[in-house]
Amino acid sequence: MADTLHTPTEDLHAVLERMGTQARAASAALAKAGPDTRTRAIGAMADALIAAESDVLAANAEDLAGGKEKGLSAAMLDRLALDSDRVASIAEALRAVAELADPVGTEIARWTVPSGLDIARVRTPLGVIGIIYEARPNVTADAAALCIRSGNAAILRAGSESLQSSIAIANALRAGLASVGLPEDAVQLVQTKDRAAVGHMLTGLNGNIDVIVPRGGKSLVARVQAEARVPVIGHLEGLCHTYVDAGADPQKAIDIVVNAKMRRTGICGATETLLIDEAIAADLLPAIAAALTDAGCTLKGDDTAQALVTNVQPASEEDWRTEYLDTIISVRVVDGVEGAMAHIETYGTSHTECIITEDQETAERFLAEVDSGIVIHNASTQFADGGQFGMGAEIGIATGRIHARGPVGAEQLTIFKYQVRGTGQTRP
C-alpha cells in the first residue's frame, strides 16, 4: 500500500484527489470483472487476512497502547481489541459476503414497447463509495467486502484510534484483490489521523466519490450530512417507537416491548419510546412496566404513565427526542393509533416503528401510513437488520428519502441502467 501512503511534504488534498482518481479507474475494472471474479476476490481477501494475522495483531497492539495512553474507556478499548479469534471471525464475515448473490448485471425488469424495442433495467455498481467510520477494525473488512460484492471501489476512512489496525487489514485486503488480478486500489484506506481528510472526502474528490456512507455516532453523521457535497446514505438516529394498541395481546406486548428495548440497548433498532393506547393503559402498562423494571430498565413517562405506575420518572419534551441507547425508556399514553402516529410523525427519525395489536385493520393502517424505513407489526424493533431481513450483510440502515431506505446491503449499493435492444428502429 506504499503508493497511497503520503509523505509529510505531500499535500493532503492532493493525496486524496489521487486516491479518488485511482478509485475511479479501479471501479471500472471491478465492474467489468464479473461475479465469479468478485466472489474469488472476497475469498482471497479472507485468506490474505488470515495470512496477515501477525501483522494485524502487531498493529492492533500499537492502537491499543495509544488508546490506553489517550484514556479510552474500557468499552472502546474492547471494541478496538483484536485477537486470533476476532481476526478469524472477520475472515468468516468476509466469506459470508463472498457467498451473497452478486447484484451487478442482474435484470430488475424487462419489457417490450410498441416500437419493438426490448427494454431491460439491469443493476450496475454505484461507482466509488466513501465510508467514514469510527474505531472498529472489523468495519474496514466488512465495508470493503460489501463494496467489492456490489462492484464498487471503496475509499475508507477509519477512526484514528484504529488506524494502524485498519492499515494492516486494508493491506491484507488489497493483497487479496491483487492475487485474483483485480486492482488493489479498489480498496484504499486514508492513511492519516488528520481529521481534515474527512472534509476532503466530503467534497467528492472532483466527482470521484459517488456516495458517502457514514457509520458511527451522531456527531460524525451530523457533520457528514451537513458538509457533504455528494449524496449520503445512512442514518443520524434510530429513535424507534413501539406502540401497544388496545387490540394488543397482553403477553405478546410484554415480550415484544422488553425485547425491543432491552435485548441490546446500544443498537439503532432498539426501541426508545413506548406508546400505549389509553384504552388499555390501566390494564396493561403496569405489567409491561414491571417486566421492563425486572429486566433492569428505568422508566420515564408522561403524567398518565406516572399515575398508573410507581417509580416512573417524569419525561420531559427532551425525552421524546432522545435516543438513549441505554437501559432507559420513555412512555407516553396516547389516544389510539391516531395519537401514536401523530407522536411518531413529530418525534420519529424514520428508522423503525412497531405496532402491537391483534386488530388487523389497525395494523394495516399503521403499516401503510407510518412513514419510516421499516414498519413492523407484532415483532421486535430489534429485527431492524439486514441479516434478519434475509439480505445478508449491511453497511447500515438508511433513513433518508432517496435511493434506499432500511438496511443497505449489496443490492442497495447498486443503481441501474437501461439496455435497449432494437432491430434498426428510427423514431418517427
Q: Which is nearer to its own copies, 137 or 406 (CB)?
A: 406
CA 34 remoteness from chain centre: 26
- Residue 232 DSSP code: B
- CA 149 – CA 151 distance, rounded (Å): 6
Q: Where are the alpha helices (DSSP H) in 135-277?
A: 137-149, 163-179, 196-202, 218-227, 250-262
Residue with Cβ nearer its own copies (242 or 304): 242
Select 316 or 425, whichever has its Cβ closest to its own copies: 425
The helix (run of H) or strand (run of E) holding residue 330 is strand 328-334
HEC per residue, 256-274: HHHHHHHCCCCCCCCEEEE
Distance in Å, CB of 55 to its own copies, minimum: 35
Distance CA 251, CA 357 (A): 11
Least Cα distance to 341 among 306, 322, 368 occurs for 368
Name the DSSP class of 53: H
Cell numbers at residue 160, please?
484514528
Which residue's CB is nearer to its own copies, number 32 or number 193? 32
Residue 163 one-letter amino acid: L
- If the CB atoms of residues 223 and 252 are measured against its own copies, the closer one turns out to be 252
> Closest distance between its own copies and the C-beta of residue 368, in Å?
7
Residue type, 73: S
Q: How far is the CB of 270 from its own copies (least distance, A)?
A: 10
> Any idea how long the chain is?
428
Question: What is the smallest separation between the CB atom of 133 and its own copies, expressed in angstroms?
Answer: 20
Least Å distance, CB 282 to its own copies, is 23
CA distance 380 to 356: 9
Nearer to its own copies, 28 or 178 (CB): 28
Residue 9 CB, shortest distance to its own copies, in Å, is 32
Between strands 298-301 and 328-334, the pairing is: parallel
Helix/strand/coil for 19: helix
Q: Is residue 302 packed enough to be buried (19+ CB in 10 Å), middle (13-18) or exposed (0-12)?
A: middle
Give the residues lining the site for its own copies (CB under 8 A): 28, 31-32, 105, 111, 113-115, 117, 119, 121, 124, 126-127, 210-211, 231, 233, 249, 252, 255-256, 258-260, 263, 345, 363, 367-369, 371-380, 382-383, 388-390, 401-406, 415-427
Nearer residue to its own copies within complex by CB, 286 or 387? 387
Minimum Å distance from CB 67 to its own copies?
31
**CB closer to its own copies, 158 vs 213:** 213
Considering the complex, what minimum distance in angstroms separates the CB of residue 313 from its own copies? 26
C-alpha cell at 387: 441479516
- In whole angstroms, give the CA distance from residue 64 to residue 58: 10
- For its own copies, which is the closer residue by CB, 303 or 338? 338
271-277 and 328-334 beta bridge pairing: parallel
CA pseudo-torsion sign 32, 386, 371, 375: positive
* Shorter beta-carbon distance to its own copies: residue 71 or 114: 114
Question: At its nearest, how many Å lie between its own copies and the CB of residue 43?
Answer: 24
Q: Minimum CB separation from its own copies for residue 398, in Å? A: 9
Phi, psi of 41 (to 5 degrees): -60, -45
